[in-house]
Each structure stands twice: as C-alpha cells, then as structure tokens.
Amino acid sequence: MTTAAAYTWSRDPGSAHVSADGTVTWPAAKLTPGEDDHAALAVAVAIGGSEGVVGVTLGAGDASWALARKATRAIVVSDAPLGDDDAATGAVLAAAARRAGADDVVVVGDSEAHPGVAPAVAGHLGWPIMLGVTSAQRIDGRVHVTRQVAGVEETVAITPPVVLGVTAVSVERSAPGMKEMLAARKRPVEKVTVAELGLEQRAALHPTTTRCPEATRARIFDGDPDRAAADLVAFLRSEGVA
Amino acid sequence: MGNDVWLIVTDPADLAVLPRVQNLGPVTALVIGDRELADLASRAVAAVQWIETADAVPAEAYVAAAAQSAAAATPRVIACSGAPASRAVLGAVAARCSAPLLPAVAGVTSDGAGVVVERTAIQGAVIATYRLTSPVCVVLVPDETAAGSVPEPATVVAAPSAAVAAMQVVSRVATAKASGLADAARVVSVGRGVRSRADLGMVEELAGALDAAVACSMPVADDLGWFPKDRYVGRSGQCIAPRLYVAVGISGAPQHLEGIRGAKVVVAINSDPDAAIFRAADCGVVGDLYEVVPALTAALAAAHR
Ligand SMILES: Cc1cc2nc3c(=O)[nH]c(=O)nc-3n(C[C@H](O)[C@H](O)[C@H](O)COP(=O)(O)OP(=O)(O)OC[C@H]3O[C@@H](n4cnc5c(N)ncnc54)[C@H](O)[C@@H]3O)c2cc1C
C-alpha cells in the first residue's frame, strides 16, 4: 500500500508588492509550501502504508522538503506550473499520485488559499474525500479521521482509498535538522512531465487584470488619542454596540 | 450548456453566498443533508434537488452521486461556500466537467458565452479578474447582504443517491469550552502588540468599561501562555460572532480573521496604518495602544456618566 502526500510551493503573499493601481509585483521571489502542508505530511507519515509515503509535487515544489520529513521517495511534475485554477493543480497532482502508485490514501493540505485543490485531487482520482482533517490513525484497515465541525470534534471511519484534506492547527513546531536533510538527499526523486502523465499541457491560469479593492471600509479616527477615543465611542454608541 | 447556476448546499453557510450568483439566472440548489436544510433552501432558490443523508453518514459519502447530478445538468456556474462537504462535491464536478475551480470568488457575471469571475487575492489586497469559458466552479466568499426569499417555496425533488462511499461517523464530542467567548456580545482581544503580561490590566480595564469578554490571538495563548488555549480566536481556535470585537495590537492574519467573520462591528487599534486588520475592520484608531486603550476606557467612562 502506498500513501501519498501531495503539496505545492507558491510565492508567499506576504512578500507581494501591490501598487496603487493594483499591479502586483514580487520583489523577493520567496517560495513556501502551503501552511497546512507540514500537517498533511505528518498525517501521511502517521498512517503510511507498507510501501511508505511518497511526496508528490509540481512546478517549483521542492522534493527534499517532503523527503526531509520522512517521505521515502518523491515525484515532481517539473513542467506543470502552479496557477490559480485549483482544478488544474488537482488534476496534475492526482495523475502524479497515480503514477507513483498511490492506491490507499492521498493526503493534501486543505489550504485557505487553495481550498479547491484537495477536492479536485479526489475528483480526478474518483475517490471519496474528507476535508478539514486534523489527525488520522489506522484501525483494522480503516482510516479514522478527526475533524472539528462547529464546536464538535467528529471522528469518521473511512475505508480507503480516500483523499484527506488536512488543516494545520499551527505553524510547524519542529523543522527537520541537518541529519534529516542529509538523509533526504539519498532518497529517490522521479521527475516527470505533464505529457508523460498523459495530460494536456495547459498554460497556468492567471488573472487578466488586478485592481485594488474599493477604499477600505474602515473609518479611521486618528490624531490626538483622547479626541480619537471620544470620536470612536460616539461612533460605537451610534452603532448601538457600546 | 445550460444557462443556470447550481449551488451545492451541505450547510446553511452555502445559502449565505447565494446573493453573489443570483444575478446570473435561476439557481438550483443541490442539497445534501436533512429535510430541514432542504426546506431552508426551498425558501431561497428556484429549484431544489435533495439527497437525504442517513444517520451517522456524513454528507461527503454522497459526493459521487451529487457530482453526477450536477454535471448532468450542464450548468454554467457551479458554486458553494467554503463548507467542507460542499467543496468536496465541487471538486468532483470540476473533474467531471473539466471545469476550472477558483476560490475566494466575490462575483460572477455573464460575458457572452463565458463568464467574468472576480476574486480576492494576496490576502484581500487585490481583486483579480478572469475571463473564462463556462462551465466554471467557484468557491464564494460570504456575502453580508441577505438573499431575497422566493415568493413560493420551491418543490423539493429527491435526487438519485446511489453509490454511497464507505464512511461512517463513529463519535461526536462537543469541544466548545466554557470560555464564555462563544456567547459574548462584546469581546476585547489582545495581540502581540501588547508588550508584557503586566500590561494586560490596561486591556482588562477597557473590557470592563465595555462589559466585554477578553480573548487573544493564537501566539498570545500558545507561545506566551498569557491566556488558556480556549481563549484564542481564529481558524484553529474559537470562531465567534460578537456584536463588537475590539482587536488591540493584532495584525489581522488571515487565520485570525477567520474566527471573527461573524462579528458585527470590528474595531482595530494598531500603530501600523497598513496592518491587514484595518482591511477587515469597520473602524479603528491608528496609534500606540498604550495611549489609545486608556483614552478609550476614559472616554467610555465619560460617556456613561
Ligand atoms: C496553520 C496556522 C493556523 C493559525 N491559526 C491561528 C488562529 O487560529 N488564530 C490566530 O490568532 N493566529 C493563528 N495563526 C497565526 C497567525 O498567522 C499570526 O501569526 C497571528 O495571528 C499573529 O498574532 P498577532 O496579530 O497577535 O501578532 P503580530 O502579527 O505580531 O501583530 C502584532 C501587531 O501589533 C501591532 N503593534 C505593535 N506594537 C503596537 C503598539 N504599541 N500599539 C498598537 N499596535 C501595536 C503591530 O503593528 C502588529 O500589527 C495560525 C498560523 C498558522 C500557520
């Protein structure tokens, strides 16, 4: 049984520069994995099948990132760029997971920025999916996943194959050390192309235009703190909240 | 290609995004859930197809059947909120129809045979526009305007629900703790802008003047340990809907903002005029919290005199 952890690397939105006309530029081309990906990989490792965990990524995704976190091998679709269409990203990751022999569980970070990727991976594999998962364990051949739903912790038992969309509850607490990084270098990485996966090469979807949103709706009270505070209280009272 | 819109409904939150696509034409709701949810949908849209869920079987088990129904109708736009089970259906529809799937969508309009999709990007700093050929799948952001109700409730039609995936709920445990935050009408929340634990007294005085509960951002509970973990607000913590939320020295990270989407009036106090919290706030004071918070407490006391 092969478990896969699919992830993508993208530019950190915090490093974008937005001009007054809404044009977006990227002064620092810093790439990061999705903020939920470390938790997704940890879940994959926790429930990994007999054949271990294969890291699956595309474009600028760094295979060694997964390999340093206990993935036993990795596959990278090197000519598939990451665009804004979550279905296109999901199609490539699903095809790569299939190529890597994933036949059990595919784990994907259920990210706020790309909430359609994990669902599209499942759609393209034709597998069921559970999203918002925070932890999982294997019991008698079934995967028991836990998730938070409106103040309730729900545990669901699922018979694989299944795609799990995992939500991180915090930043990664312990990043791999030098030993893990060195071990990662020895693990195999397969590079494939979109054509080798039998997919049509499509240009990544990007917006035709970007603009700044209408002026912020926040009413700002500034200047002397006492004056600002008095104006704010008057506003809150007019809104009936103070 | 049909001319209509399908809305996937597994949660009332899906109906709250309806105003964002109602301009496109008649909306069919594909409901996966109990009768109550189907009836709720029938009062908001033109047509309802309903897949009834069995006890202890999550809506996700019906994704394949739901996607088949939606794809067969060849709608122009297939939409939902961020509700997990609804997104699960949307991904399956996108795969079946080879349709693009865009998140954080604020509006969809017709453009001849295609559609123009507008979404927020770069953490809300820009609106990005895409011209696409339909069908398109969109995850919509919540809309504050109430969806108009239909004059006559739509007839609820049972949709085929064969091929249920093997998944079963084995336990459900309430976790909403007794922090009192969930029911608080007013909340004052502490961020890392507050420099030391000793300064919390100043914020607590403000909370007292407002008759508000005190909450915090995640690092203030998790890293600094100034509050128990059931007091932090955000995607990993408490999701709250007070009438008033005062963010004191909180930057407004997307994960934090997720927890206050339901708040009525959001006030930000922050020394950085470019802090993301001001984009999510209704009003605020740009200034040093060490000056603004005591001034606000005093102004409230003066107003009550
Ligand atoms: C997977 C994941 C899940 C997460 N979940 C959550 C969550 O549920 N909840 C949550 O809160 N966070 C969460 N986070 C963390 C989140 O990304 C932010 O790091 C966090 O919210 C920042 O907290 P903060 O605003 O208090 O601190 P900072 O981001 O450090 O902001 C401090 C603010 O105080 C202002 N400031 C400083 N001094 C003053 C002064 N004298 N007067 C006025 N203003 C001042 C600064 O301008 C700044 O804007 C999560 C992160 C990840 C990766």
Chain segment A167-179, per-residue pLDDT in tens: 999 999 889 999 9
Contact B101 A16 (CB under 8 A): no
Contact at 8 Å (CB) between A71 and A97? no
Per the structure block, which two tokens stand in for B165?
């995936």
Give pLDDT, residue A181.
93
Between the alpha carbon of residue A85 and those of residues A114, B283, B284, the distances in Å are 9, 34, 35
Cβ atoms within 10 Å of B217's Cβ, excluding its own: 30
- What's the CA gap between B16 and B79, in Å, rounded? 12
Q: State yes or no: ipTM above 0.90.
A: yes
- What's the CA gap between A219 and B30, in Å, rounded? 40
pLDDT above 90: percentage of residues in chain A: 83
Tell whether the model's pLDDT for residue A147 goes beyond 90: yes
For A197-208, how does the pLDDT look when each residue is reduced to its tens digit (9 = 90+)? 999 988 999 999
pTM: 0.91
Residues of B in contact with A238 (CB under 8 A): none
Residues of A in contact with B243 (CB under 8 A): 241
Per the structure block, which two tokens stand in for B150?
């239909």
* Residue nearest atom 44 in ligand 1 by C-alpha distance: B270
Summarize the confidence of residues B93-108 as an average pLDDT.
97
Give pLDDT, residue A50.
79
Contact at 8 Å (CB) between B102 and A86? yes
Between the alpha carbon of residue A76 and those of residues A55, A61, A73, A118, A180, the distances in Å are 8, 7, 10, 17, 20
The rounded mean pLDDT for chain B is 93
Q: Kindly report the nearest CA distance between residue A185 and chain B, in angstroms.
A: 33
Could you tell me where the DSSP H helices lie in A134-219? 178-185
SS3 A221: strand
Q: Kindly report the nearest CA distance between residue A202 and chain B, in angstroms.
A: 12
H or E segment and range at residue B87: helix B84-97
Summarize the confidence of residues A61-89 as an average pLDDT.
96
Give pLDDT, residue B118.
98
Tell whether the model's pLDDT for residue B77 goes beyond 70: yes
Give pLDDT, residue B134.
84
Contact at 8 Å (CB) between A122 and A163? yes
Contact at 8 Å (CB) between B292 and B269? yes
How many A×B Cβ pairs under 8 Å?
265
Contact at 8 Å (CB) between B298 and A225? no
For B187-220, how does the pLDDT look when each residue is reduced to its tens digit (9 = 90+)? 999 999 999 999 999 999 999 999 999 999 999 9
Could you tell me where the DSSP H helices lie in A100-141? 117-125
For B18-66, how does the pLDDT look when each residue is reduced to its tens digit (9 = 90+)? 999 999 999 999 999 999 999 999 999 999 999 999 999 999 999 999 9
Summarize the confidence of residues A147-164 as an average pLDDT.
93
For B115-128, how does the pLDDT look when each residue is reduced to its tens digit (9 = 90+)? 999 999 998 889 99
Give pLDDT, residue B151.
75
Which of the listed residues B218, B231, B269, B272 should we mutate to test ligand 1's pocket, taking the one with most ligand atoms within 8 A of CB?
B218
CA-nearest residue to B219 within chain A is A170
Give pLDDT, residue B101.
98
Residues of A in contact with B300 (CB under 8 A): 233, 242
Tell whether the model's pLDDT for residue B1 goes beyond 80: no
CB of B186 within 8 Å of any CB in chain A? Answer: yes
Best A11, A35, A85 member to test B by mutation, with max B CBs in 10 Å, is A85
CB of B299 within 8 Å of any CB in chain A? Answer: yes
Banded pLDDT at B161 (limits 50, 70, 90): confident
Q: Give me the residue label for tokens 């995640």.
A: B218
Give pLDDT, residue A102.
95
For A23-36, how does the pLDDT look when each residue is reduced to its tens digit (9 = 90+)? 999 998 789 999 99
Contact B87 A116 (CB under 8 A): yes
Give pLDDT, residue A84.
96
Q: Map B107-123 to HEC letters.
A: EEEEECCEEEEEEEECC
The rounded mean pLDDT for chain A is 94
pLDDT above 70: percentage of residues in chain A: 99
- What's the CA gap between B78 and B21, in Å, rounded? 10
For chain B positions 210-249, those within 8 Å of chain A (CB to CB) are 210, 218, 222, 235-236, 243-244
Summarize the confidence of residues B231-249 as an average pLDDT.
94
H or E segment and range at residue B221: helix B218-222
Ligand 1 atom nearest to CA at B289: 42
Cα B192 to ligand 1 centre (Å): 6
